[in-house]
Structure 1
Amino acid sequence: MAGDTFESWKDQCLNKCDFSKKGSVDDDISHIVAFINSHDQYFTTSSCSGRIILFDGALDCQVQKRNCSWLFVTHQKCQSEDVLTSLEKSVGDASLKFEPFVLHVQCKKLEDAQLLHTVAVNSGFRNSGITVGKKGKIIMAVRSTHCLEVPVSHRGTVLITDQYLDFLVRVSNQKMEENLKRIERFYECLQTALQPQEQKCILKEAADKKPIYRRRRKRAQVDSVTDCCQTVNDHNENREEETVCDLLFL
């Protein structure tokens, strides 16, 4: 029964429209999302590869994420000029923010979630966690604390100098670069953890046979060296006999 429920959840989630502002999976993590969704025990519910945002909040904004407009957003490294141009459009309280990679994955069993959690933590996403909902939904969230948020304007007035803005952009770009490295590390660990069981057996058998192959090779090398030595000795003996014959002939 639980298995049928999970399959229906997965089918419904993967076939619904993407209502995010971008409308599609970010390019830097599309291969990770596709890889996870190809496994029967997992499917992704939301994701973001990481982004640098300049957002403007309303003057009477009680909840930060509501009534906010995005002045600038990128999923790659950015230039100070682009951020400064966008900041000039601020009419409220603007903040420059870096958000790292985040991924939510629904898992079929708790053991599946624990495996994914181990992969995430070992890849540098140490703020990852597992939640279990009332309906039995098991969600594993890949998260980290590798973030940044700095207020840069108030009531439309810029609070920082161009020099400090350059510094903030440089720090944000460094965090983005580190973020992309962690994403690739996560993907490599994920591939190793989720590779087919039969492939693991083949690799294990190959590893077990490797020392035997080395011993045989060493023996072959010893035999080869012995043969070479014998050949050299035989050559020397023949050379000495030729020399003696030459002396007798003279």
Structure 2
Amino acid sequence: MDRPGISAIAHTDHPIAAPLGDDSVHALLDRALPHGDARLLDLGCGSGAWMLRAQTSRPGLRAEGVDNAPETLAAARCALTDAGCGDRSVLHAQDAAEFTSPHRYDVVLSVGATHAFGGLLPTLEAARTHLAPGGGVLLGACFWEREPGRATLDSGFAAEDFDDLATTVDRITADGWTPLHGHVSTLQEWDDYEWSWTGSLSRWALEHPEHPDSGQALKAAADHRAAWLHGYRGTLGFVTLLLHRTTRP
């Protein structure tokens, strides 16, 4: 089973692929989305959970999503169609970093997808090229809540992967962006996310013992749970920021 396949199963019960509860997602979207006719672009849309929530709350919103995982895009298409948003949604099967469009968007969203662009600032640069004048970016990214110790580094991270929160925001503002709002995921949100991730994958493996990938899935869940509980729990943070350009181009 490849990584997108594991991720699709692991997010069965937590379709927002980030440590954010439903209340936080709705609050962030309410601040970010304009009323009336508008366009949203989700770079790294996965199963379309952000698009679905955005279009449900804003009937006039047209949304486009970009992702390179066919399985999750198929799930997104079904979910958006079932919710009555199919005629206001477009999905693109390609790498988000390579996406181009004739449109400019009132909101560009990229939550938990900075790896697709090679880091924090390249993600913002990609978002900027798609942003309409006066539009906003909703960016979700990891940071270090505290200096990572040996257990965190042994769980698959490098100290230079992230900065602390203050340095992360300083880098963003120095790049020409102004934060208008931010949400730092709580430990409860992290725990809910990780228990759901590992639990959904484990449950699938136990319910499908005959599947050739069940053993791999069960091991992936166990390895992830160990890395979280013994490694990065309480050390890895996640912040979601609503950003506008400090000076318009």
TM exceeding 0.5? no
Report the TM-score, using the length of structure 1 for normalisation: 0.22
Bigger helix share: 1
Report the TM-score, using the length of structure 2 for normalisation: 0.22
Larger-Rg structure: 1
- Higher RCO structure, 1 or 2 (CA under 8 Å, sep 6+): 2
